Amino acid sequence: MSAETHSPVREPLHRPAGLAGFASDWASDQRTFKNVSWGKAMMWIFLLSDTFVFGCFLIAYMSARMSTAVPWPNPSEVFALHIGGSDVPLILIAIMTFVLITSSGTMAMAVNYGYRHDRRKTALLMLITALFGATFVGMQAFEWTKLISEGVRPWGNPWGAPQFGSTFFMITGFHGTHVTIGVIFLLIIARKVWRGDFDTGKAGFFTSRKGQYEIVEITGLYWHFVDLVWVFIFAFFYLW
């Protein structure tokens, strides 16, 4: 008597409906991040949390500005530069904004060439992006030095409401720290790209898997976020 062997038949997995299905997706990671790497997913989660932090800072700024009885300083006067015998309002801020927005374009091009495995163009564009970022931080340091020399402090300023100094230094300083960290990270990844670590699969941070240029895109996500936050800071501090 011959015995027939039968391969076991797997029953299809059914997704629970409603709230139970939502909880099942996120708890077991079967669908939520199925087509997304953990690196990219964790960067999105970090950026979401950072959005709340910057949001709280800007809400605190609005609350302080609208609740103070002392007149708020005029941005056109506070952030003006004396050039050619006259005060030019917001000229430095306009250049800073142009530099940072331009860096988003070079970063996007770096991501594009990264996925084409053109390591030289990718590394070059990342270095240009880092240069733009360092230029922005340098101009921000000049702006801080100018305001401090004119008497602006976290506890007061010569133009009006004392809350101006504390909110300005806190928010722009926090953003400048983000830009500085981004510049350092850009330089590290650009060096790895230039050496060909992603093509050879050389062991190390972010380079253990051959051909994985996704870290360039993850760096780009962070950089675009920093640029986007600056747009809100620019609108709240310098245009309001």
Question: What are the tens digits of pLDDT across the range 33-47?
Answer: 566 677 888 899 999
> Please, what's the largest Cα pairwise distance for the chain?
108
Query: What pLDDT is attached to residue 14?
Result: 61
Query: What pLDDT is attached to residue 201?
Result: 61
Tell me the per-residue pLDDT of 82-131, one tens digit each, with 9 for 90 and over: 887 787 888 999 999 999 999 999 999 999 998 888 889 999 999 999 99
Distance between CA atoms of 200 and 234, rounded to whole angstroms?
43
Residue linked to tokens 């996120």 = 26
Q: Has residue 77 got a pLDDT over 50?
A: yes
- Which DSSP letter does residue 68 get? -
Query: What pLDDT is attached to residue 12?
Result: 46
Residue predicted with more confidence, 206 or 166: 166
Q: Has residue 165 got a pLDDT over 50?
A: yes
Q: Has residue 58 got a pLDDT over 80?
A: yes
Distance between CA atoms of 164 and 154, rounded to whole angstroms?
8
Distance between CA atoms of 238 and 93, rounded to whole angstroms?
8
Q: Has residue 168 got a pLDDT over 60?
A: yes
Distance between first and last Cα of the chain: 90
E strands, the chain, in order: 80-83, 86-89
Q: Has residue 224 got a pLDDT over 90?
A: yes
Mean pLDDT of the chain: 84
Query: What pLDDT is attached to residue 71?
Result: 87
Distance between CA atoms of 114 and 206, rounded to whole angstroms?
14
Distance between CA atoms of 38 and 104, rounded to whole angstroms?
24
Mean pLDDT of 177-200: 90
Could you give the angle at the alpha carbon of 51 between the alpha carbons of 50 and 55, nearest 5°? 120
| Percentage of the chain lying above the pLDDT 90 cut | 48
Question: Is the separation of the CB atoms in 161 and 72 below 8 Å?
Answer: yes
Tell me the per-residue pLDDT of 1-23, one tens digit each, with 9 for 90 and over: 444 444 444 444 566 677 776 66
Residue predicted with more confidence, 88 or 171: 171
Residue linked to tokens 């909880």 = 23
Question: Is the separation of the CB atoms in 171 and 57 below 8 Å?
Answer: yes
Mean pLDDT of 165-180: 94
Residue linked to tokens 């309002």 = 89
Is-above-0.85 flag for pTM?
no
Q: Has residue 135 got a pLDDT over 90?
A: yes
Domains and CATH numbers, the chain: 36-239 (1.20.120.80)
**Coil/strand/helix, residue 87:** strand
